[in-house]
Amino acid sequence: MPFDKKPIIAPSILGANFSNLEKEINYCNDSEAQWIHLDIMDQQFVPNLSFGPAVVNSLRKHSDLFFDVHLMVSNPFDMLIPFIKAGANGISFHIEATESRFTFPPKILINTIKKNGLKCGLALKPKTPFSLIKKYLEFIDYIVVMSVEPGFGGQVFIDSTLSKIAEIDKHLKEKNIRDKILIQVDGGIKLTNYNKVISAGGDILVAGSEVFKSDNPSATINKMYND
């Protein structure tokens, strides 16, 4: 973790109660959370459908926190501008949806995100090697390491993710760019394992069900932040 900073806790709205998202996001506002994680799924790249720019725009009116939009979609380029206009502060997209299958190469998406003043992240599925994104490191702000198979909340953390995080952390340090790129870990983050994730090199912890299914979401967020 750069400069021994405290982790960024990014509660994932995917784990929230969708019948009252204003109340759910206020749990985050009332905590020490710095980011809100917004999983966008199109039922093509992953087997689930979540929500679109209109929901993000509605939530934007109720929070000043950093909105981290995670595009788990087969056509991320076409979704960039709608989510930028909806109020995203950062957008990550999957290398698997661009490097080998999509017309637009990753650099075009990165440039579009960055020229609009947003932070840019590249996401990796659990079985995707870190080596696939090394050539883009100088252009991005964070790496999203999926610690569950993307698509559904409430899954169990894949333990082999810890070695992947450590590999990325080591490489960034060797290249003297550790202070420029954050490592986000998304999936299965619990009070019982978040310290291991931080120790491996995780900077941004995405936690959904552990936060929003708890008796006191704000206190759960704060516990991860302060312990």
- State mean pLDDT over 72-96: 96
3-state secondary structure at position 126: coil
Q: 53-60 and 21-29 helices cross at what angle (nearest 10)?
A: 50
30 as an active site residue: the answer is: no
pTM of the model as a whole: 0.94
pLDDT confidence bin for 2, thresholds 50/70/90: very low
Query: Environment class of residue 209 by beta-carbon count within 10 Å: exposed (0-12), middle (13-18) or buried (19+)?
Result: middle
Residue 219 has pLDDT above 90, yes or no: yes
Sign of CA dihedral 76, 81, 62, 68: positive
The per-residue pLDDT for 3 is 38
Span between the terminal Cα atoms of the chain, in Å: 15
**What is the average pLDDT score of the chain?**
93
39 as an active site residue: the answer is: yes
pLDDT confidence bin for 151, thresholds 50/70/90: confident
Residue 4 has pLDDT above 50, yes or no: no
Check 39, 42, 68, 141 and give the catalytic one. Answer: 39
Q: Give the Cα separation of 159 and 79 in Å (integer).
A: 32
What domains sit in the chain, N to C, each tagged with a CATH number?
2-226 (3.20.20.70)
Q: pLDDT tens across 52-67, in order?
A: 999 999 999 999 999 9
Check 68, 169, 186, 203 and give the catalytic one. Answer: 186
